[in-house]
Copies of this chain bind each other. A is one copy, B any other.
Amino acid sequence: MPSKLRKQADIEKKQKTKKNLLDSAIKVFLLKGYHKTKISDIVTKAEVGQGTFYRYFNSKREIFEELLKELTEEIVLEFSSGNLNMKITPKTFTEYMDMSKAAFLQLVPIIDRNKDRVQLFLRDASTIDQDFEDEINEIFDQFVLLAKYYLDNAIENNFIRKCDTKIVAELIIGIVIHTLKNWLNNKYNNLHIEELVIESIKLVFLGLKI
């Protein structure tokens, strides 16, 4: 009986169509911006019928939501996998600095795999509605909290000078996000992101003092 195979094929086809729509959506969103993008732009890009869109998503907002969800899930996964946690307890200022560098560099592959999405969310998400703005801010805040936790820890262990760790954590995340945006906008044309990370870490840890 082919019915089972048929069903399997159907499911695969459906998943393919959905992925096709998601991929098309992100391309168009990125090019025209979320607000200027029409459903018809997405289905034209995906080369499917207008009605097909509504078999998979209820609205433009929903497909955007799903795009964001995929990204945040990947980040959360990376977080919860413990990859971002310090595995070795640093013993010196330099070790602590190197470890921080390593922590940021671990995020690079995720961002590299999701360049389009990251760029889209950094630009458009906060202008859609309050819920999205909140969600974006929550993600940022998590990074801030993580950074603060490290900073507090480092001060306790006397690796770094005393400071208002809440503010400094925000400043660090501020650097990261702005740098990321510039990099995604190809502002540092021939520069590898690793170099940016290294220079950032050096600035934060060593400052500009000779």
Contact = CB atoms under 8 A, between A and B. Distances in A.
Q: Give the interface size bracket for A toward B.
A: 35 or more
A93 interface: yes
A208 B209 contact: no
Interface string A160-171: 110110011011
Contact of A209 (B129, B160, B177): B160
A35 interface: yes
A203 interface: yes
A82 interface: no
A180 to B, nearest CB: 9
Given A205-B208, A206-B209, 8 more contacts: A34-B127, A127-B127, A167-B196, A170-B178, A170-B179, A171-B199, A174-B182, A203-B204
